[in-house]
Amino acid sequence: MVVLNRIYTRTGDDGTTALGSGERRPKYDLRIAAYGTIDETNAALGVVRLYLSELPELDAMIGRIQNDLFDLAVPEREGKAERLRVLSSQVERLERDIDQLNEALAPLTSFVLPGGKPAAAYLHVARTICRRAERAMVELGARPNERITPAAVQYVNRLSDFLFVAARLANDGGARDVLWVPGQNR
């Protein structure tokens, strides 16, 4: 259980922030940037949920994902039992959710442009933020002495796929998708 008695601590006034392990890093550190981008994804999903009253099952899926994103941002502690992290079973759940949502959709005949209904448009925003988080995580994992679990990268990769399919579902099952028309404005 997390207990937050004070919201400000002043410890970040020097331009550093603490990881869950207690280690302090500069706020521009790539790990902090990756965590922050996951947080942005989560915030965008909070906005999406404002528009999902007609899709309670999708809202519940996104609620689970928001919780997973907090699990993702808790660093592992070396030499100690891992607290929270994303597991391959969570990736598999995302895949099942994608398959379930996709069953109701007609196959695509073109690329989809972000837009349509508000929930779909915000899902596309969340998808692009998620892709940015994935890029930061992969870059971080390529650095010496930085560890990103394969399941964490897989989860974020799969999440962007989920968000794409969810956007189509939110667009009246794809009926309100905005399709790309190659060369339309030539």
Q: What is the CATH number of the domain that holds 100?
A: 1.20.1200.10
Q: Is residue 19 part of a domain?
A: no
Q: Is the dihedral of CA 23, 45, 65, 92 positive or negative?
A: negative
Q: Is residue 20 part of a domain?
A: no
Q: Is residue 10 part of a domain?
A: no
Q: How far apart are CA 162 and CA 91, in angstroms?
A: 11
Q: Is residue 185 part of a domain?
A: no
Q: Is residue 17 part of a domain?
A: no
Predicted confidence at residue 82, as pLDDT, reads 47
What are 44's two structure tokens? Answer: 């965008």
41 with 129: CB under 8 angstroms? yes
Q: Is the dihedral of CA 28, 30, 32, 34 positive or negative?
A: positive
Predicted confidence at residue 77, as pLDDT, reads 54
Predicted confidence at residue 78, as pLDDT, reads 53
Share of the chain above pLDDT 70, in %: 92
Amino acid letter for position 96: R
Residues of the chain with pLDDT under 50: 79-83
Q: What length does the chain have? A: 186
Give how many domains the chain has, as a whole number.
1
Residue 34 structural domain = 25-74+83-177
Predicted confidence at residue 91, as pLDDT, reads 97
What is the secondary structure of 75-108 as a DSSP string? PPPTTS---S---HHHHHHHHHHHHHHHHTSPPP
82 with 76: CB under 8 angstroms? yes
Q: Is residue 61 part of a domain?
A: yes
Global pTM reads 0.90
Q: How far apart are CA 13 and CA 15, in angstroms?
A: 5
Q: Is residue 94 part of a domain?
A: yes
Q: Is residue 4 part of a domain?
A: no
Residue in this structure with the two tokens 């410890």, named with its chain if needed = 11
